[in-house]
């Protein structure tokens, strides 16, 4: 099948603090608040001075499981900012990177689509794998890029999805583009129009 065993599928691990960094930038979405609090604990224990160089950007999301502002408030981090949407958060993230210096470590916790969009921006600033850590939590819904019309369909939970751009039925592959922060979607009924495999919710 087209969807399994593909190496570009990102692999995530539980977040750990990297005390080798000088500046720490933490991005969280929804349930991603918990892992960020763990990072803050680790920094406090491992390298207390680094909290003065630590910034947190957080957006609660709509999935439930959001962290309350006061939980971060007590962390000792230099700056904690709450955003109404992930879009606003990522906008501020970008302008923060414009001003950031070498020595920065990035931590991202949230749904994969949020991680992907943050990584895409980080890549533009040449942050490498050894400077970024990410933990997936929350929905597995995917951003799917249509390889035919190049439109991106958001929040995809099914194995087959209708493209928002060209109405084709797309098979959602594991083939992932870091540059586009999206999985590839390929027309599924090109050879036998209208014949679709069963549509199932798989990315919950």
Is there binding between residue 178 and other proteins (CB under 8 A)? no
Q: Which is nearer to other proteins, 100 or 177 (CB)?
A: 100
Is there binding between residue 141 and other proteins (CB under 8 A)? no
- Of positions 6, 48, 73, 125, contacts other proteins by CB under 8 A: 125
Is there binding between residue 77 and other proteins (CB under 8 A)? no
Q: Which is nearer to other proteins, 20 or 87 (CB)?
A: 20
Phi, psi torsion values for 28, nearest 5 degrees:
-135, 150
Question: Could you give the angle at the alpha carbon of 16 between the alpha carbons of 4 and 85, nearest 5°?
Answer: 75
Decide if 26 contacts 56 (C-beta within 8 A).
yes
- CA–CA separation, 199 vs 128, rounded Å? 37
Which range of residues in 65-73, 82-90, 122-130, 155-163 is near other proteins by CB under 8 A? 122-130
Is there binding between residue 168 and other proteins (CB under 8 A)? no
Q: Which is nearer to other proteins, 22 or 200 (CB)?
A: 22
Chain contacts with other proteins (rule: CB under 8 A): 20-23, 97, 100-105, 125-131
């Amino acid at each position: 099948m087209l969807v399994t065993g593909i190496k570009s599928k990102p692999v995530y691990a539980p977040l750990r603090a990297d005390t080798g960094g000088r500046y720490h930038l933490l991005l969280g979405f929804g349930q991603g608040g918990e892992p960020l609090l763990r990072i803050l604990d680790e920094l406090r224990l491992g390298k207390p001075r680094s909290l003065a160089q630590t910034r947190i950007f957080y957006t609660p999301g709509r999935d439930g499981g959001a962290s309350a502002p006061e939980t971060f408030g007590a962390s000792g981090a230099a700056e904690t900012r709450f955003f109404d949407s992930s879009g606003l958060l990522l906008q501020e993230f970008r302008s923060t990177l414009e001003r950031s210096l070498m020595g920065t470590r990035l931590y991202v916790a949230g749904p994969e689509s949020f991680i992907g969009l943050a990584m895409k921006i980080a890549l533009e600033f040449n942050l490498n794998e050894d400077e970024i850590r990410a933990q997936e939590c929350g929905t597995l819904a995917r951003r799917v890029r249509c390889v035919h019309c190049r439109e991106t369909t958001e929040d995809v939970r099914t194995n087959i999805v209708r493209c928002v751009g060209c109405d084709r039925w797309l098979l959602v592959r594991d083939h992932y583009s870091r540059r586009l922060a999206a999985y590839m979607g390929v027309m599924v009924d090109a050879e036998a129009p209208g014949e679709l495999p069963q549509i199932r919710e798989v990315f919950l």
